[in-house]
Amino acid sequence: MTTLTETEPEAAPVRKTAPGARRLDLRRVRWWRGGVLGLLALYFVVPLAACFWFTVYDSRTHQFSLSPYGQIFGAQGFTTSVWFTVKVALLTIVIEYLLLIPAMIAVQLWLPRLRPVLESLAMVPLVLSPVALVVGVNTVLGWGTNQDPGTPLFQLSVDLRDPNTPWILPIVYVLIAMPFAYRSLDASMRTVDLRTLVEASRGLGASWPLTVWRAVLPNLRTGLLSGAILTLALVFGEYTISSILQFQPFSVWIVEDSQGAQSGQLAPAVSLLSLLLSWAVLFLVSFLGGRRAVVGTDRSSA
């Protein structure tokens, strides 16, 4: 009802003939929206705040201290597990983009009929239970290790589970992270005119790799960055798969540390910090890089 006045500021003077009713209406709408968002914010912020309270307040001595946050970097096993997780996350991101970027460009330019296939493929991992997936993966690896030692299959499944660089984790994570990476890339691809970009670059004599590297990717950097950060956040939080496959990345280390009961406040502090950090980075990236994206959506709706 109020959209007319809201969308067109120029129309405001005309409305001044009957300001009372209009303004009342507006206020009602704003109040409704504020109420909904406020309640939701409460639901989402209160647990985080309570968690923060728990990490800084010692109920036995009734003292506040930020020391858990100071202890994080010195904690036993912290650097090992973080380094392990970062390595896995980087491998995941690289494999993910090597697979997704060429496929998505090709579908956008020449194979639009395949778009639904790609979209549904990117949805499957959201409903696929990680437990079921990892049980299957474990079985497949078990088949390999049941072979005679020395055969290529045996060697392959041993290499995949190598404790230093466990290739099996990035391989599975690429699947799990696909919905988020696909969505970010797709969103930023919609805001650039890929065809014109590619035709201009090719017309000026650039080779295909050069076109992708110098013309396409810089225009997708927002999507690339946010996809990468979402993947990073996912890998840092993923527990089911790595614990069942018996690796010890960051998420598993947090749990075992908290069960050690030596520093019960440390683990929540670490997880809280990693959550806020990944959100802050993601927000900054999308905010600083998203200007063009917003112009794009405005144009389409005008």
Instruction: Give the position of tokens 């797709």.
Output: 186
DSSP 290: -
Task: For other proteins, give the closer residue by CB, 16 or 113.
Answer: 113
* Cβ nearer to other proteins, comparing 1 with 200: 1
Provide the minimum distance between the beta carbon of 114 and other proteins in the complex, in angstroms, as a whole number: 6
Question: What long-range pairs does 275-280 form, CB within 8 A, spacing at least 24?
Answer: 275/48, 275/233, 278/229, 278/232, 278/233, 278/236
Instruction: Find the shortest distance in angstroms from Cβ 268 to other proteins.
Output: 4
Residue 127 or 204 with smaller CB distance to other proteins: 127
Nearer to other proteins, 166 or 290 (CB): 290
Residue 227 contacts residue 180 (beta carbons within 8 Å): yes
Taking the complex as a whole, how short is the minimal distance between the CB of residue 80 and other proteins, in angstroms?
19
At its nearest, how many Å lie between other proteins and the CB of residue 280? 9
Residue 101, token pair as written in the block: 């970027």
Q: In which region does residue 249 sit, left (phi positive, over 0), alpha (psi from -120 to 50) or beta (all else)? A: beta
Q: How far is the CB of 86 from other proteins (least distance, A)?
A: 17
Residue 84 or 184 with smaller CB distance to other proteins: 184
- Closer Cβ to other proteins, 84 or 134, answer by number: 134
Q: H helices within the chain, ranges in order?
A: 3-7, 12-15, 19-56, 67-71, 78-109, 115-127, 130-146, 152-160, 168-190, 194-203, 208-210, 217-219, 221-237, 240-244, 250-259, 266-289, 291-301
Three-state SS for 63? strand
Which of the 8 DSSP states describes residue 4? Answer: H
* Shortest Cβ 76–other proteins spacing (Å): 18
- Measured CA to CA, the distance from residue 59 to residue 43 in angstroms comes to 24
